[in-house]
């Protein structure tokens, strides 16, 4: 049926352009890559200019309130564009659309939106477009059915880095988090489908593969695959041609010694670990429903450092979670000093609808802002010291793009995920090169290209 519809509308799609705006995490970025593949398969071509696009899509995030408010503003800005050209199709997808509250705002207040679909309906996008073209009426498709475990097709952002979903959803139910509501319960893809997908990507020339999941450490726990995440990671690491493997995200309660061993024993598994701490206070962690103590967290962080010398650790920290006292906050600062993070994603708590924490009394914003600034004042000097340790070293860097400020400078990442600036010809984008580090800031390191 879909092929018949494609043939019917073949002339319609000729010359049409699309634009996608993505909010949120790497899983959302990968979903946008899948959407891009579907649109180009129909005949659309990409444009970075939203006003030139015939199909405009927002792939949404609900984890932080800021992303939600930004979406409403950007959708509203298209009202005039839609009025001037009613044939433009505007679509909203992603995590926000999986929740009735946010979806209701789009439905009730934004008539300019033509197509609405959720995180589990990406594969149906072509059919949704055909339905809209047939009826010229708004199309809404929000499914709660299990995701099909198919070989995923998508347009990767570049031809040397690729994402591979290994699981979707989450069963942890942290009291501040909307993910179980927006992406559903935890589902693991079949291991051999994942391995086949990675093999295909390597054959296509991709150098760096990132395995994605809300909590990769619990991969396979609910399935009958007899495959744990360390076992899956070890199998992927053995695929010929895989130069770099990353994964995200990890829950501290499920970080096993076996996983640490796999990272240590495989050179192509990057020496970088994102381990969300969220708070250094046990009372706050309990309120968050995190299922570990700060003592357990520090033990796991120390184990990573002991077994994998030079590993870089990053984290997530929420400041101002309901009930957080000054004493609790001081414990977060103390934990940061003990670990010595290389980088961190820091957030001021914002209540999300349908979460337990949304029922808790919030802390005064002035107190939260003060604590947030003090956290940054604690972290940034550590980041600087960690980066300064690289001066004089020769490191392998996968060059990713031109610098936004200077086209003669390329940016890339070490296997420890350090952002590197180096003067190099743009022909080297996508290559792993050696760079001698000569300078640093709290957020970047820079150096000179070493003759290969």
17-69 pLDDT per residue, tens: 999 999 878 888 888 888 998 999 999 999 999 999 999 999 988 776 676 77
Q: What is the pLDDT of residues 214-244, one digit of tens each?
A: 899 999 888 777 889 999 999 999 999 999 9
Confidence of residue 3 (pLDDT cuts 50, 70, 90): low
Question: Would you say 25 is a known binding-site residue?
Answer: yes
Task: Annotate 306-355 with DSSP letters as a single string.
Answer: HHSTT-EEEEEEEES-TT--HHHHHHHHHHHHHH--SEEEEEE----TTS
Residue 117 has pLDDT above 60, yes or no: yes
Residue 150 lies in a domain: no
Residues 321 and 290 in one domain: yes
CA distance 439 to 393: 11
User: Among 196-210, 211-225, 306-320, 328-342, whose mean pLDDT is lowest?
Assistant: 211-225
Question: Would you say 95 is a known binding-site residue?
Answer: yes
Residues 339 and 201 in one domain: yes
Model confidence pTM above 0.85: no
Residue 6 has pLDDT above 90, yes or no: no
Question: Would you say 336 is a known binding-site residue?
Answer: no
**Helix 125-135 with 26-42: angle, nearest 10 deg:** 50
Strands (E), 120-173: 139-141, 161-165, 167-168
Residues pairing with 411 in the sheet: 401, 421
Q: What is the pLDDT of residues 267-293, one digit of tens each?
A: 999 999 999 999 999 999 999 999 999
Q: Given 106, 141, 176, which residue is the final one in a domain?
A: 141
CATH of the domain at 412: 2.40.50.140
Report pLDDT for 78.
Answer: 87
Report pLDDT for 60.
Answer: 87
Residues 357 and 235 in one domain: yes
Residues 249 and 364 in one domain: yes
CA distance 96 to 71: 10
Residue 5's nearest CA partner among 115, 127, 117, 91 is 127
104-130: b (≥16 Cβ within 10 Å) or e: ebbbeebebbbbbbbbbbbebbbebbb
Report pLDDT for 187.
Answer: 87
C-beta separation of 448 from 438 below 8 A: yes
Show the domain range for 117: 1-141
Residues 128 and 183 in one domain: no
Residue 8 has pLDDT above 80, yes or no: no
Which ranges of 158-228 would DSSP assign to H, the alpha helix? 179-183, 191-203
Residues pairing with 114 in the sheet: none
Report pLDDT for 151.
Answer: 60
Quote the mean pLDDT of the chain.
91
Residue 190's nearest CA partner among 180, 182, 198 is 198
Residue 399 lies in a domain: yes
Residue 326 lies in a domain: yes
Residue 52 lies in a domain: yes
Determine the 3-state secondary structure of 205 from DSSP.
coil
Distance of CA 117 to the CA centre of its chain: 19
C-beta separation of 6 from 122 below 8 A: no
CA angle 234, 156, 17 (to 5 degrees): 165
Residues 312 and 403 in one domain: no
Residue 249 lies in a domain: yes
Q: What is the pLDDT of residues 366-424, one digit of tens each?
A: 999 999 999 999 999 999 999 999 999 999 999 999 998 888 899 999 999 999 999 99
Which ranges of 58-99 would DSSP assign to H, the alpha helix? 65-76, 79-84
Q: Given 372, 389, 406, which residue is the final one in a domain?
A: 389
Question: Would you say 177 is a known binding-site residue?
Answer: yes
Residues 354 and 377 in one domain: yes
Q: Given 338, 356, 389, which residue is the final one in a domain?
A: 389
């Amino acid at each position: 049926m879909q092929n018949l519809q494609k043939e019917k509308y073949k002339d319609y799609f000729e010359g049409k352009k699309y634009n996608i705006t993505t909010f949120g995490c790497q899983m959302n970025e990968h979903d946008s890559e899948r959407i891009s593949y579907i649109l180009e398969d129909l005949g659309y071509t990409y444009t970075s200019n939203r006003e030139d696009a015939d199909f405009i899509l927002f792939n949404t995030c609900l984890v932080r309130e800021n992303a939600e408010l930004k979406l409403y503003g950007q959708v509203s800005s298209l009202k005039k564009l839609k009025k001037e050209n009613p044939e433009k199709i505007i679509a909203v997808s992603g995590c926000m659309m999986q929740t009735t509250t946010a979806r209701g705002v789009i439905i009730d207040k934004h008539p300019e939106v033509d197509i609405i679909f959720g995180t589990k309906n990406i594969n149906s996008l072509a059919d949704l477009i055909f339905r809209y073209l047939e009826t010229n009426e708004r199309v809404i498709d929000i499914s709660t059915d299990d995701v099909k475990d198919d070989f995923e097709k998508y347009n990767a952002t570049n031809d040397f880095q690729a994402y591979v979903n290994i699981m979707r959803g989450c069963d942890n139910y942290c009291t501040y988090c909307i993910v179980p509501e927006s992406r559903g319960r935890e589902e693991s893809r079949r291991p051999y489908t994942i391995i086949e997908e990675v093999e295909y990507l390597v054959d296509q020339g991709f150098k760096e593969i990132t395995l994605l999941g809300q909590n990769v450490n619990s991969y396979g726990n609910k399935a009958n695959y007899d495959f744990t995440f360390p076992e899956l990671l070890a199998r992927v690491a053995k695929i010929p041609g895989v130069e770099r493997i990353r994964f995200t995200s990890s829950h501290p309660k499920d970080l096993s010694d076996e996983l640490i061993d796999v990272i240590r024993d495989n050179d192509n598994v990057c020496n970088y670990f994102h381990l969300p701490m969220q708070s250094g206070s046990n009372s706050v962690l309990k309120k968050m429903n995190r299922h570990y103590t700060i003592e357990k967290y520090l033990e796991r962080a120390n184990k990573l450092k002991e077994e994998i010398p030079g590993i870089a650790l990053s984290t997530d920290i929420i400041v101002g979670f309901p009930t957080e006292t000054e004493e609790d906050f001081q414990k977060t600062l103390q934990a940061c000093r003990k670990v010595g993070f290389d980088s961190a994603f820091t957030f001021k708590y914002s209540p999300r609808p349908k979460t337990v924490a949304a029922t808790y009394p919030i802390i005064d914003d002035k107190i939260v802002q003060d604590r947030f600034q003090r956290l940054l004042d604690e972290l940034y000097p550590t980041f600087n010291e960690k980066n300064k340790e690289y001066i004089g070293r020769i490191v392998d860097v996968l060059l990713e793009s031109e610098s936004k400020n200077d086209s003669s400078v390329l940016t890339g990442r070490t296997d420890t995920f350090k952002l590197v600036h180096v003067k190099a010809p743009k022909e080297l984008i996508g290559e792993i090169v050696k760079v001698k580090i000569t300078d640093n800031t709290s957020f970047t390191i820079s150096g000179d290209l070493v003759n290969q």
